Amino acid sequence: MKTVVGVAVVADNRVLAAYRPDPDGGWEFPGGKVEPGETDEQAAVRELREELDLEIKVGASLGPAVNISPEYQLHVYLATVVSGDPVLREHSELRWFAAPELDEAGWLVPDRPFVRELRGRL
Ligand SMILES: Nc1nc2c([nH]c(=O)n2[C@H]2C[C@H](O)[C@@H](COP(=O)(O)OP(=O)(O)OP(=O)(O)O)O2)c(=O)[nH]1
């Protein structure tokens, strides 16, 4: 099973969410596919640099991985900002959500268990 890593960047009790453009649009955690030879943490750091121009420190796992296809599972990690401000490149929108704003309706389905877990941690 290959892994897609999602990164829940938390700052000031808010989490950074990115909107994946339509047709399969929805809020997600920035990140992407782990490449061969890479750890989840290395992939997380690389993807956030590429997607957002953001330097992060990866923290704890937000819970067990969730299957998203026969080939891929999604694993989400907490992270903090080391430097930079997120730059919109590949998504249609970026937003910092506080706990009460984490309305599940808009999140990609595989992300929802991680969003629930996150709610208690912001
Ligand atoms: N990045 C990310 N992808 C997610 C999340 N939830 C979820 O179901 N996905 C799915 C959407 C995509 O099918 C897949 C990630 O693919 P991707 O296209 O972002 O991966 P990538 O950046 O490595 O790009 P590529 O190699 O496909 O060009 O995982 C999430 O929270 N973050």
How much distance in Å is there from the Cα of 31 to the middle of ligand 1? 7
Write out pLDDT tens, residues 91-116. 999 999 999 999 877 999 999 999 99
pLDDT at 122: 93
DSSP-H helix ranges across the chain: 40-52, 112-119
Instruction: List, in order, residues 6 or more apart from 99 with CB less than 8 Å away.
Output: 13, 119, 122
Q: Which fold has domain 2-111?
A: Nucleoside Triphosphate Pyrophosphohydrolase (3.90.79)
Contact between 58 and 79 under an 8 Å Cβ cutoff? The reply is yes
Mean local confidence (pLDDT), 73-98: 97
Write out pLDDT tens, residues 34-76. 999 999 999 999 999 999 999 999 999 999 999 999 999 999 9
Query: Hey, which of 49, 74, 75, 76 would you mutate to test ligand 1's pocket, going by the most ligand atoms within 8 Å of its Cβ?
Result: 74
How much distance in Å is there from the Cα of 60 to the middle of ligand 1? 20
